Chain A
Amino acid sequence: MSDHMKLYEVFLRSKRGLDHKHVGSLHAEDAQQALEYARDVYTRRSEGVSIWVVNSSDIVASQEDDCESFYDPHDDKPYRHATHYQLPDEVNNM
């Protein structure tokens, strides 16, 4: 069965104003069916007000192994953080 059906990733917005969040995946023939299945299997308890489905094969992901080249350069930049700047107590809530 799954040989014939595409894999879709499902994202739910739990409440207006919040980001869609990944909740899982499912198999479906097409996007419309994926939406209906997502409604059936991921929102049985009103978990969402909006559903996104995306073909899993369309997702391009970075690899754990890329971590060094992706993120290492940030470790020596503490000045990007507010706490790096020592200010007098009276105005430290800035």
Chain B
Amino acid sequence: MTRVLTEAELEEKFQARIDAEEKIEPKDWMPDKYRKNVLRQMSQHAHSEVIGMQPEGNWITRAPTLHRKCILLAKVQDEGGHGLYLYSAAETLGTSREEMNDALHDGRAKYASIFNYPTVTWADMGAIGWLVDGAAIVNQVSLQRTSYGPYSRGMVRICKEESFHQRQGYHIMMVLMRGSDEQKNMAQDALNRFWWPSMMMFGPHDTESAHTAQSMKWKIKRQTNDELRQKFVDQSVKQAEVIGLKIPDPDLKWNEERGHYDFGEIDWEEFKQVVNGNGLCNRQRMAHHIKAQEEGKWVRDAITAYEEKKRQRADQAAA
């Protein structure tokens, strides 16, 4: 005879499965907190993809050549697609897209704080592709091994598509650094403004992070914020050097003993301000997202009306 398992027993089986490196799939039993934790992370990730279209969308009409414009369009289109993959995967946890959207609009759900910085020059498209997508890739490569199956599969697909994003950004920087003094300054200025916000993308220090310990135990996250941030620094230094850019951190220096670069402290006060809604573009980003949704309503209504009409016609034909 089978006995109904207690909550504690279920949780023990669940943890054993995770410890054995097995994935959790949508119909499996999972602790409420696991469901909430994965949903929080996935919806934040999805929102970041979609809100992230705005700072780059700002430059589509002003790209310096038709070729760059095509590239930027393709990249922004990818971000929208990545948002879709992530929302769909998140919906397998039983929360609808509308609920996630509402949570974004009333501030319960967050998105990456980096997208609250303005994009004021063309070089910012270079800095974003190289650094922001670069940081995102470091994170996403690690998340390919996350314990939630649909999230993991989404990450594999996204990583495959994403590598051109970073390379096109770096290519923009490289071309500018071969140009006039003015162009070189523009590239350096973009790096100066985007370096620290990119470093903040990995979130608070492990010791300060509210979710890290539990997320690591459940293998939702596979590497901690600080580990990922270190990886990002280590790879970026060489990349900057090769094209003659200087990373704006006076404390940046190779540590032979650790086998890593040491680096300066992030301005956590700025991080806190931006996360809590007081960045330069927070209000603009949200207002634009809400406006796009409202202005697209007639399209969604038209689709529904057309479907209804088709159904009625089919019914009449059948009668």
Contact = CB atoms under 8 A, between A and B. Distances in A.
Interface of A: 13, 16-19, 50, 77, 79-82, 84-88, 90-91, 94
B172 to A, nearest CB: 10
B85 interface: no
Contacts of A50: 25
Contacts of A84: 164, 167
- Closest 3 A/B residue pairs (Cβ): A17-B23, A85-B167, A82-B163
Contacts of B171: 85-87
A6 B226 CA distance: 55
A12 to B, nearest CB: 13
Contacts of B242: 88, 90-91
B245 to A, nearest CB: 12
A94 B170 contact: yes
Contact-size category for B: 20 to 34
B74 A80 contact: yes
A16 B153 CA distance: 11
B12 interface: no
Given A16-B22, A79-B70, A94-B134, 6 more contacts: A79-B164, A85-B167, A90-B238, A91-B239, A94-B167, A94-B239
B61 to A, nearest CB: 18
Contacts of B238: 90-91
A11 to B, nearest CB: 13
A79 B74 CA distance: 8
Nearest to B164: A82
A16 B239 contact: no
15 contacts: A16-B22, A16-B25, A17-B22, A17-B149, A77-B70, A80-B74, A81-B164, A82-B167, A84-B167, A88-B174, A88-B243, A90-B238, A91-B242, A94-B134, A94-B170
Interface in B28-67: 67
B116 interface: no
B168 interface: yes
A79 B23 contact: no
Interface string B120-164: 000000000000001000000000000001001100000000011
Nearest to B17: A16
Given A19-B153, A94-B239, A87 B70 contact: no
A67 to B, nearest CB: 21
Given A85-B171, A90-B238, A17 B163 contact: no
Contacts of B93: none
Contacts of A80: 74, 78, 164
B149 A16 contact: yes
Residue with the greatest number of chain B CB neighbours at <10 A, chosen from A18, A84, A87, A94: A94
A79 B153 CA distance: 24
Contacts of B74: 77, 79-80
Interface in B222-254: 238-239, 242-243
Nearest to B172: A85
A47 B12 CA distance: 27
A94 B25 contact: no
Contacts of A86: 171
Q: Which of A16, A84, A87 has the most CB of B within 10 A?
A: A16
